[in-house]
């Protein structure tokens, strides 16, 4: 909803539970989208992933080369950031910064999909 309010014209939200009209039901470990379908993928639910490497693989698969993956996790240090960033095989680390999101102290990690193998 926030992205739509900022003027982004095409937003697709997914969650394990439907929340029409903005969010559709889908498994983040097996996304029902073509490869390179999106410019950006964002999650604040990475800690809930049953299979973190599969979760990341699906983010990378569905984001076009040059696109961005953003993960917000409970506030963490450099070692945890390095561990999460290490799950990304097709991306390079851009930044990690501590932020406040919906009143919670979190770390935002940004990865950019590589444009060449």
Q: pTM (2 decimals)?
A: 0.89
What does the block give as tokens for 38? 């999106």
Q: What are the pLDDT digits (tens) for 81-114?
A: 999 999 999 999 999 999 998 889 999 999 999 9
Q: Is the pLDDT of residue 22 over 80?
A: no
Contacts of 61 (CB under 8 A, 6+ apart): 31, 35
Q: How confident is the model at residue 6 (pLDDT cuts 50, 70, 90)?
A: confident
Between these two residues, 18 and 32, which has the higher pLDDT value? 32
The Cα-based distances of 7 to 2, 55, 59, 79, 85 in angstroms read 9, 27, 23, 36, 29
Q: Give Cα 103 distance to the centre of its chain.
A: 20
Q: Is residue 36 within 8 Å of 65, Cβ to Cβ?
A: yes
pLDDT of 64: 96
Partners of 71 in the beta sheet? 43, 109
Other C-beta atoms closer than 10 Å to the C-beta of 10 total: 8
Rounded CA separation 68/63 (Å): 7
In terms of CATH, what superfamily is 29-113? Vaccinia Virus protein VP39 (3.40.50.150)
Q: Give the pLDDT mean for 11-39.
A: 87
The 10s digit of each residue's pLDDT in 39-78 is: 999 999 999 999 999 999 999 999 999 999 999 999 999 9
Task: Report domain extents, the chain.
Answer: 29-113
Q: Max Cα separation, the chain?
A: 39
């Amino acid at each position: 909803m926030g992205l739509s309010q900022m003027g982004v014209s095409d937003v697709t939200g997914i969650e394990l539970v439907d929340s029409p009209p903005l969010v559709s039901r889908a498994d983040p470990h097996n996304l029902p989208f073509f490869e390179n379908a999106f410019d950006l993928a964002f999650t604040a639910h990475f800690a809930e992933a049953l299979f973190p490497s599969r979760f990341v693989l699906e983010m990378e698969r569905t984001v076009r080369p040059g696109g961005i993956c953003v993960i917000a996790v409970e506030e963490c240090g450099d070692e945890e950031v390095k561990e999460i960033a290490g799950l990304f095989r097709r991306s390079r680390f851009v930044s990690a910064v501590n932020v406040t999101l919906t009143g919670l102290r979190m770390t935002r990690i940004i990865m950019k999909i590589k444009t060449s193998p």
